[in-house]
Structure formats: structure tokens, C-alpha cells
Structure 1
Amino acid sequence: MIVITAPTGNIGRHLLSRLLESAPAASEDLRVIVRDPARLPDTARGRVEVITGSHAEPAVLDRAFDGADAVFWLVPPDASRTPHDAYTGFTRPAVKALTDHGVGHVVGVSALGRSTPLADRAGLVTASLAMDDLIAGAGVAYRALACPSFFENLLEDVDTIRENGVFTDAVHPDLKAPLVAVTDIAAAAARLLLDRSWAGAGSVPVVGPQDLSPNDRARIMTEQLGRPVRYRHQPLDELYTTLVGYGLNEAFVQGIVDMKRAKDDGLDAGIARTPNTTAPTGFAQWCAQTLKPAVLSAPATPEAS
């Protein structure tokens, strides 16, 4: 029995589809924890056991982990909490449920940077690494998928790319760093969940085939979209003020700022690519398959009042 948390999210939906389509998964029972079962894909109907609720709730976790052999654990972003509460606080009930039900294997989504001097001052990344330690301390076999920033973060800038040819971030324009597509994270998770011959605790880097700077990405987007795209570097103080203005928890916002500063200082740099850590999807391919259709689609028209 494999339990999938956040099965309708960016990574979880790809993982669920991959497991449903995978021949090795045919002998595996699948169970999902989901707030709204109506959001599950049609292919999952009648093929997965559904536990309705939030995986923040101890009672939901108790039902979901009963009889489970492996769990895919993903903490949803919650900008109303402090980083500590958003990661380790959210995960603590799951650790108890894992122990109570004797779950053997857990695969989680985490971050790069553990071995760097920046790890203890990297905001949300620091909180994510503390979550890894909490899960590993439960005595389960644990693999943290250590990921850099996602290609999919650019989808938040679709409107400004479409209308102004601009995307924004807070790292140096020429800083080369790894990135990854969420489909490749899901593929790495599926492999580990289906082949549970591993033991102990550790991390598995999942990075795309090349390091790219924001200026590199602007050039590739220009080529793929057939229209000029440029990068706007956002100062960290402006980022902080903007996010606090949206009503986000100030400690969480500071966690984002500290993470961005650490990434700008090289938090994600220096990852040695191997066949086991290098994901196949390149940025140009992702732009063609995902970003271009999103940019070229017509923006939603507000309903008349």
C-alpha cells in the first residue's frame, strides 16, 4: 500500500498518474489523502482508496497510514504560518502516525543545500531540512528528494510574460543554478516508492540537465516563444514589502527572503550530476511543452457583475 499526500498538487498529480500508468504499480494498492475528491483525475476513479481530509489532521493520518508500506510526503505551502510551523509543525502529527502504524518507507520533497555553510540560514530551505531530520528520526527508511527551484515557478509570471515580456526573481541575472521540472520530481518519487529495497535515511538530488541563469532562461524563452522576454531583478527589500503587503505571515516572508538570499549566495551550486541525479527534462523542452501553451492562451475574462 502506497499513500500519496497532496495528490492534486503540482507534483502529486504527476506522481499519481505515473503510478496509475506504471506496470510495476499494478500489484500496489494506492491510497490518497485529498480535501476535495472531485479534483482527482477520472483515471483514479475506482482505482485508488480515498481518505477525505487534510494531511495536517492526526485523525486523517491515522486512517491513511493504517496498513501502509510507503508514504509520499509533501508539505503544502502555508504562508499564514512561521517556517518552523509550516514544515516541522505540520509534519509532527505525521511522524507519530508513521511510528504508530509501522510504516517502513517515506519519500519526501525537500531542498538542496544541506552540505553547504548556508544551510542554517536559508529560510524555508532550513525549515525543510529540519523536517527531513524529524522524519528520519522516526526510524523509517527515508529519502528526501533534494530539489532546486522548479521550472513551474515561472507559471506565476505567465501574465507579465504574455503582456510585457518580463519575468521576475530575486537572484543575480547571471547566476547559474540548477532547476527541475515537477514531472521529473514525480518520476524520482515513483521509482523510490515502487522499489523499496533501500534503507536508512538520506537525500537524493533531482536536478535538470544544465545550470541556467535568469538571463539564460530569458534567452531560451525568447527563442521558444518567438517574442522578446527579459529578466527583471527584484531587490530583496522590495520582495519582502510586496509579500507582506499581500497579508502573508511576516516570519514566513522573511523565510522566503532568506532562502532567496542563500540561493543568490550559491546554496544550490556545485551539485555533481550523475545518471541517478540528473532529470531528463531540459528548460527548452519544458518551455515548448508547458510555458508556451500557457503564455499563448487567452487570459481569463472576468465575469460581469
Structure 2
Amino acid sequence: MARWAADGLVAVTGASGRLGSRLAFRLAAEGARQRLVVRDPARAPRLSDGRALPQGEVAVADGYRDTAAMRAAFDGVRTVFLVSAREAPDRVAQHAAMIDAAAAAGVERLVYTSFAGAAPDAVFTFARDHWRTEQHLADVAARTGLRWTVLRDNLYLHALSTFVGRDGVIRGPAADGRVAAVSHDDVADVATAVILDERPARHDGATYEVTGPQALTLDEVARILGQAAGRDLTYHPETEEEAYASRAGYGAEPFEVDGWVTSYTAIAAGELAHVSDDVGRLVGRPARSLAQWLDDYPGEWAHLRRA
């Protein structure tokens, strides 16, 4: 794939997380200069021998609410990769503050990780947050000239493995709906291709649907996970009422429980079934299937074997 000279500084937020760290290693391999934004500098991505990533600076901020530190982290940066914040009641406000900070710092481009089916009336409640963030990003861009690209990721394959309870059962009101889950690595590859493209302007204003190569029912997910783990895993389709009742004892806030339950009802509604070829077009190879991910990353789902 043709890429640009990587001569501008890239800020990677959430750089110690599953997605941000993967992008950081890819940018380092391509020779890009980057600023890794983390809460704890001890958790910043490092090479296997413990050395810092080449051409990698570290900026510390106590989360997205630490707007002064985030604003400083964006000084001198050409491109910001904005990993969406943890779910919270003020999540949209956190995203908006980061977008505003990027624009105020003179950042040229912002790449935001949104979610499949983002819309004001999306079944998945957190997808509504992503839609509101996308709207704020477009508004800021219209006022300031900030260039943007949105990556609408489907559910992560790793998340599917966490759906399995200790008893080997996936429980949720997904009915027989399908989900085109995607790997963190494929999202990181897409982000690398977008950020380092030698013709970055062709991604300006683009919204990419980042999905896996197939849409699976949760029955199929349980079967594939079970084959890899060497045990019987099954799917039990709950009603919405059963789903709320079964999660009532977790001690979670209502907005969290709503998000958990509607992640399943969004599958039932068909909102996560779309299969896109954006990974193939941008990366130059097909997206990983669930079976391929299980083969390639056994450590990511080892908890299923231990259960």
C-alpha cells in the first residue's frame, strides 16, 4: 500500500489499551513519530526488550477529563488518533473536549473510533453516544477546517469471548441475529493505512465500516469458540426482561446495564450484521474471521479454556 512520508507527529490516545498499543507498534514499524498518551507512563507500549518505541514520546494525562494535559499532549501534533473513552454518563462530553482540544492545538487531522450503526435512534445505547460525537466532530471541522475520518468498528472478536459465562453459556436477547465482529488488529491495520497514506486527503470526511468477513449468530459464535476451547459452549437467547433481571445483581449503574443489554438487542435488530469490505480495500487483505483470530491469538481467549 502506498503511504506518505510519516513526517508529522501522531498522537495516539489510549496508547496502553488493546487498540492504541497495537496502532503504536504499527506506526513505530513504519518509522512514524508519535506521542503516546497514557495515564501511567509505566504502561506505555515498549519493545520486547523493554526499550521505548523508536521515535515515540510519552505524554501523561489522567484520562480524557484531564483536558489541560490532553491539550498539552496535542501541541505540535499533525494527526490525533482518538480512541473512544470508556463508557460513562459524560462520555460524549469527554469526546467533545478532546476534539475541541485538538482543534485548539492546531491539529490537522483527527481519526475517531466510532461504532457500527451509530445513529441518534440506534438500538445499542452507546452507539447513540458515538453518533453525537460524530456530529460534534463534523461541527468543529466546519468551523475550524479540522480534517477527520471516522472508523465505525463492529463489536470486537475479543468481546465475543467475554460474553461466555462461567457455566459456558452466552446469555442475551440477541435472538437469531448476526454480528460481523472484527479484531483489534484489523482495526489497527485500517488506522495505520489511513494515518500513513501518502494521499491522506482521500480519507477526509470518510466514514469506514470496519467489520469482520462474516456475520455470525451467537449459536455459531458459541460453537466456534467451543471447538477452539475444547468444551461445549452454548447460547441461550434471553428475553429483554430476563436479561435485565439476570444482570440486576452486578451492582452496575443503569446506563451500563442498558449498554450491556442493548448490545444484544442491537444484534437481534440486525444493526451489527452488515459485512463491509473496507478492511480489504484499505489494508490489502481480507479481515480475520473468528476462527482465524482464535488460531492467531490464543492468549486472548485463554479464559475460556480455564473455565
TM-score normalised by the shorter chain: which range applies?
0.7 to 0.9
2:177 aligned to 152, 164, 175, which one?
Answer: 175
Q: CA–CA distance in 1 between the matches of 2:17 and 2:268?
A: 27
Task: Tell whether the 8 Å contact from 2:13 to 2:81 is kept in structure 1 after alignment.
Answer: yes
User: Do residues 153 (structure 1) and 159 (structure 2) align?
Assistant: yes
1:77 aligned to 78, 81, 86, which one?
Answer: 86
User: Do residues 37 (structure 1) and 46 (structure 2) align?
Assistant: no
Tell me the SS of whatever aligns to 2:281.
coil
Q: Deviations over 1:189-242 (max 9, x none)?
A: 111111233354231011111111111112222332333221122332343345
RMSD: 2.6
Task: Tell whether the 8 Å contact from 1:154 to 1:167 is kept in structure 2 after alignment.
Answer: no
Q: Given the superposition, is the C-alpha separation of residues 66 and 243 from structure 1 closer, same or farther in structure 2, using an over 3 Å criterion?
A: farther
1:276 aligned to 274, 281, 284, which one?
Answer: 281
Gaps of 5+ in 1: 300-305
Q: Given the superposition, is the C-alpha separation of residues 16 and 154 from structure 1 closer, same or farther in structure 2, using an over 3 Å criterion?
A: same
User: 1:121 Cα deviation (Å)?
Assistant: 4.7
User: Do residues 55 (structure 1) and 64 (structure 2) align?
Assistant: yes
- Residue of structure 2 in register with 1:128 after alignment: 130
Q: CA–CA distance in 1 between the matches of 2:59 and 2:27?
A: 18
User: 1:169 Cα deviation (Å)?
Assistant: 3.5
User: Do residues 11 (structure 1) and 11 (structure 2) align?
Assistant: no
Calculate percent identity across the aligned residue pairs. Answer: 25
User: Do residues 142 (structure 1) and 148 (structure 2) align?
Assistant: yes
Q: Deviations over 1:122-152 (max 9, x none)?
A: 4110111111111222112211111111111
Q: CA–CA distance in 1 between the matches of 2:269 and 2:126?
A: 15
| Paired residue type of 1:143 | T
Task: Tell whether the 8 Å contact from 1:149 to 1:179 is kept in structure 2 after alignment.
Answer: yes
Q: Given the superposition, is the C-alpha separation of residues 124 and 279 from structure 1 closer, same or farther in structure 2, using an over 3 Å criterion?
A: farther
User: Do residues 285 (structure 1) and 286 (structure 2) align?
Assistant: no
| Paired residue type of 2:64 | H
2:75 aligned to 61, 66, 72, which one?
Answer: 66
Equivalent residue runs for 1:291-302 within 5 Å: 291=298, 294-295=302-303, 298=306
Q: CA–CA distance in 2 between the matches of 1:228 and 1:145?
A: 35
* Equivalenced residues, count: 284
| Paired residue type of 1:154 | L
Task: Tell whether the 8 Å contact from 2:82 to 2:111 is kept in structure 1 after alignment.
Answer: yes
Equivalent residue runs for 1:193-232 within 5 Å: 193-195=195-197, 196-198=200-202, 200-232=204-236
Task: Tell whether the 8 Å contact from 1:158 to 1:295 is kept in structure 2 after alignment.
Answer: no
Gaps of 5+ in 2: 1-8
Q: Deviations over 1:90-148 (max 9, x none)?
A: 11221221221221111111112247xx8445411011111111122211221111111
Q: Given the superposition, is the C-alpha separation of residues 2 and 253 from structure 1 closer, same or farther in structure 2, using an over 3 Å criterion?
A: same
- Residue of structure 1 in register with 2:29 after alignment: 21
Q: Given the superposition, is the C-alpha separation of residues 225 and 216 from structure 1 closer, same or farther in structure 2, using an over 3 Å criterion?
A: same
User: 1:245 Cα deviation (Å)?
Assistant: 3.4
Q: CA–CA distance in 2 between the matches of 1:291 and 1:238?
A: 32
User: Do residues 104 (structure 1) and 104 (structure 2) align?
Assistant: no
TM-score by length of 1: 0.83
Task: Tell whether the 8 Å contact from 2:156 to 2:183 is kept in structure 1 after alignment.
Answer: yes
Task: Tell whether the 8 Å contact from 2:230 to 2:305 is kept in structure 1 after alignment.
Answer: no
